[in-house]
Every structure is written in structure tokens, then in C-alpha cells.
Copies of this chain bind each other. A is one copy, B any other.
Amino acid sequence: MAPVNNNDEHPPKFKVTIVGSGNWGSVASKLIASNTLKLSSFHDEVKMWVFEEMLPGGEKLTDAINRTNENVKYLPGIKLGHNVVADPDLENAVRDANMLVFVTPHQFMEGICKRLVGKIRSDAQAISLIKGMEVKKEGPCMISTLISQQLGVNCCVLMGANIANEIAVEKFSEATVGYRGNRDIAEKWVQLFSTPYFAVSACQDVEGVELCGTLKNVVAIAAGFVDGLDMGNNTKAAIMRIGLREMKGLSKLLFSSVKDSTFFESCGVADLITTCLGGRNRRCAEAFAKNGGKRSFDDLEAEMLQGQKLQGVSTAKEVYEVLKHKGWLEMFPLFTTVHEICTGRLPPTAIVEYSEHAPKYPMTGGPTSFP
């Protein structure tokens, strides 16, 4: 990592700020705060920018966090560490930090970046924990790219099979740091996040790691269809495998730098498994198939998700647009079919019938059909 200016201190120490304080952001602050206390190369204090809210009792959320050491709204019952300091002022929270952890809902990132231009240290490093970037026709707009370009900083990503509430209670899990060029920086992030129950490894493939985090949601929709149709574990495993293959194939077509090995990491196969076993994408898709596609996803979301939206359905649409734009529809029968089922053009049973896209045995040939 580039030498940093820590004013009068010797040796220079790294100072961490977490931008975001939802469920996953709060768990991240707990992981990080436990390490900054132990590791001498970090300042003990971890700042957490909190979007200020008034709690029902009239107390500010930041005050409650700083008083109780818990995020009483988004992660109640879990101590974050006494060295976590909630700050409602975004600019103040980032001012002194040279390690910035971004973990907000993805739709807020563009606005946050705009507010931060010129307000961060010139030697700052960033990492994004944000899954679910936008896939535009010309290709996906990665959150790490947005951060890099808007703020002029290097940006890594951390993804993986990470159900926040399970990690909060210290159940064993893994994660993957995707980095671009500098292994030392990646190692610093690995150090900052790793605990005995949270095993982090680094992988030189930002785009591959980040795309896994989005594309898996499309596969989870497919897995949910299989569940809803009672097709059994065998078919589900096949669909998950084909999904992983298409995740890999599309990522490599979009970014030639993407590595096969990334998909063996936590961000790849493990996150896919978690998402296809639990998760709301899978659950709503199961209900959709059980209803024979007669109730729309909008309808099911409204009933099942209390206002939250499914990422898988919108990502499937965005991926479809990219595939169509590039002339790649036939190369990705699973992604294509998921979208066509979601829109009602095909019945849920089509998830195991690719006859429209490939005349005979569509799955033969394996991943060699991709570059």
C-alpha cells in the first residue's frame, strides 16, 4: 500500500471508515472493529457513517448506536465493538480515513460518490461490499468502477456467501476480496476483515468477483422454479451447475480478464449455493412456479417481501437486454429462459427445456463453448 500521511504519528497507521450502516454494514463494522483493536497497523477507532433516522422513542439512530454500541434498528442484540463510532455527517466521517468501506444499497452509491468528490484523502483506498450493480445494454456498470472513476481511488470488492445475520452470531463463513493490481492492498483488506469464523481470501479479479454477486440472483430464480415444480435435488443441482457455467461464460465475454478460478471461490460457487438454498429470489420463484406462472412477480413480491424488490428478476431482464444487444441469446439458454419465464412468454416448466434455443441436447459440449 502506498505510504500514507498520518500527520505526526509513527509508524503510519491505517484509519478505517465504513460508509453505510444497514444489516451487512453493521456486521462489517463488527468484524473490522475486532481487528483494528488487535492489529497495530490500524487505528483502533472505526468510523461508521450512518444515514440519520429518528427512532420511535425520539432518539437519533447515531446516538443510540454510540450509547448502546448496537445498531438497534438494523442489527439489534449484537455489540459492534466499543471502538465503532457512528457519525451522521458523511464528509466528517470520511475526512481522515485512508481505508473506505462502501456498504450501502446500490441505488444510493451514485449520489454518495457525488457528495464525496474532493472530500476524501488523496491516498485513500476503497472497497465495495455492495452486491447488485446495474447491468446496462452496453454491459454492466460495476459499483467498483463507479467508485474508482468518481472518486479517483483504487477500489477492491468483497463478496461471498455472506448472510449477515449468520455472520453476526459468528457462524463460520468465507468471503473473497477481488483486487486489481496491488496484492499488498488486497492483503490489507483481508487482514481487516478476517476472523476465525470469517475466512477471507484474495483473488486478482475485481470484475469476476463483482459479477458473481449479481448474476447468482438470476440462477436463484431458476433454482426456485425447479423447487416450485418439485423436480428434485438432481435437477436443481444440474440447473445450478448450468447457471454457474453461464455466470462464468458471460463474465468472461464481458471482461477478458475474468479468471475461471474465481468461480471456485466463496464469491462464486459458495454464494451461489447459499442463494439457491435460501434467499428471497429462490423463494419467490418457487411460489411463481407453484402458481404455474399465473401470479406475476410484482404480485408475489408485494405479498411475500413487505415492499422489498427482487434483484433476480430485474437482473434477468438486464442480462437479457445485454445478451440480445450482443447477439448472445443462444449461448445463454438458462439466463434467457429465466427472463422469458419471468415475463410469461414461457411456462415455468421451460426451465429444463431449451429446445427453442438449441435444437437437440443443448448442454453437451460444456463450458468449452465459451471462450
| A interface residues (Cβ-Cβ under 8 A, vs B) | 161-163, 166-167, 171-174, 176, 190, 194-197, 199-203, 231-242, 244-245, 248, 260-261, 263-266, 269-271, 273-274, 277-278, 352-353, 355, 360-367
Contacts and interface: CB of A to CB of B under 8 A. Distances in A.
Given A244-B264, A264-B366, 4 more contacts: A161-B234, A172-B231, A241-B265, A277-B277
Going nearest first, the 7 A-B pairs with the smallest beta carbon separation are A199-B363, A172-B352, A241-B270, A237-B273, A201-B366, A237-B274, A161-B237
Contacts of A162: 234
B232 A166 contact: yes
Contact of A264 (B171, B263, B352): B263
A361 B194 contact: yes
A195 B360 CA distance: 9
A232 B352 contact: no
A173 B234 contact: yes
A260 B163 CA distance: 28
A201 B260 CA distance: 19
Contacts of A176: 366
- The quantity of this chain's copies bound in the complex is 2
A266 B195 CA distance: 33
Contacts of A260: 260-261, 264
A202 B364 CA distance: 8
B240 A273 contact: yes
A161 B231 CA distance: 13
A261 B368 CA distance: 9
Given A161-B241, A264-B244, A236 B363 contact: no
A233 B161 CA distance: 9
A264 B248 contact: yes
Nearest to A226: B172
Contacts of A278: 233
A231 B353 CA distance: 35
A136 to B, nearest CB: 28
A274 B261 CA distance: 22
A100 to B, nearest CB: 22
A264 B245 contact: yes
A364 B274 contact: no
